[in-house]
Amino acid sequence: MLSEWLALFPPWLLVGLLLGVVASVFVAGVFVVGGRLFPTAPVDESEKIDGTTRRRSEIREYLRAIGEPFAEDHPVHGQTVAFYLPSRDVAITFNAQAYFRIERAGTYAVLCEHEMPGAQLGRRLPFEVPKLEPELADLDDPIAEAFERLGLPATASADDVKAAYRSEVKGAHPDHGGNEAEFKRVREAYTTAKDHAEA
């Protein structure tokens, strides 16, 4: 019965299927053996910081740096906002719907994007904020960090960024005595800096 069923297919198709199954089993075996010989280090989820958590931390640090009293996860007009400045009646939220509801109710609302560095909040507040020291003003600013990692001023041109990257990557590349983590940081800095370099 099986031989009659197999006779319906051309021999090249059967050989191809058999070779495909053998190759798949071999590759799966390589991955299993590789996983046992070189196990992946477990990821500590408690140390993982997502965008919202990082931005909340940056905003918290910024508000403390300018000496502004605030309450976190505070209800305002039926909406829970990330930060509320009671002395100024200002609500800071990541939620667009809450932003519009609060603004219609008469409280000044600030909508923060998850990508916005906390130090940039001062420009959105409806009151004068004190000038911070330069190192605090650039607190966790990924663009400034990218230029700094490449050893360049923020006004560097695209050509300067490319030249600095080529210079930095030589020492950071694992094939040239560097390590993978440093190589990755240099590549990320280059990507960010080239997108914000002056033309």
Q: Tell me the CATH number at 110.
A: 3.40.960.10
Per the rule left: phi > 0, alpha: psi between -120 and 50, beta: everything else, 92 is beta
The number of domains in the chain is 3
In angstroms, the CA 129 to CA 150 distance is 31
Span 20-27, average pLDDT:
95
Q: Report which listed range, 3-7, 128-132, 163-167, is most confident.
A: 163-167
Please tell me the predicted confidence (pLDDT) of residue 136.
Answer: 47
Q: Are residues 132 and 55 in the same domain?
A: yes
Flag whether pLDDT at 40 surpasses 70: yes
Q: Are residues 133 and 154 in the same domain?
A: no
Please tell me the predicted confidence (pLDDT) of residue 133.
Answer: 60
Last residue within a domain, chosen from 137, 152, 186: 137
Q: Between 141 and 170, name the one with better pLDDT.
A: 170
Span 164-184, average pLDDT:
82
In angstroms, the CA 62 to CA 116 distance is 13
Q: Give this prediction's pTM.
A: 0.47
Q: What is the CATH number of the domain that holds 152?
A: 1.10.287.110
Cβ neighbours for 90, distance < 8 A, ≥ 6 positions apart: 84, 107, 108, 109, 110, 125, 126, 127
In angstroms, the CA 11 to CA 89 distance is 80
Mean pLDDT for the chain? 83
Last residue within a domain, chosen from 106, 137, 168: 137
| Residue 109 lies in domain | 51-137
Q: Are residues 96 and 146 in the same domain?
A: no
Flag whether pLDDT at 115 surpasses 80: no
Q: Are residues 103 and 177 in the same domain?
A: no
Q: Are residues 62 and 102 in the same domain?
A: yes
In a domain, 83, yes or no: yes
Alpha helices in 88-157 (DSSP H): 96-104, 134-137, 142-149
**E-only strand ranges, 59-145:** 71-76, 79-85, 90-93, 108-111
In angstroms, the CA 172 to CA 43 distance is 24
Q: Are residues 133 and 67 in the same domain?
A: yes
In a domain, 46, yes or no: no
Instruction: Please name the residue that has the structure tokens 């923060």.
Output: 112
Q: Are residues 82 and 59 in the same domain?
A: yes
In a domain, 25, yes or no: yes
In a domain, 45, yes or no: no
Q: Are residues 113 and 153 in the same domain?
A: no
Q: Are residues 151 and 132 in the same domain?
A: no
Q: Are residues 27 and 82 in the same domain?
A: no
Q: Are residues 58 and 121 in the same domain?
A: yes
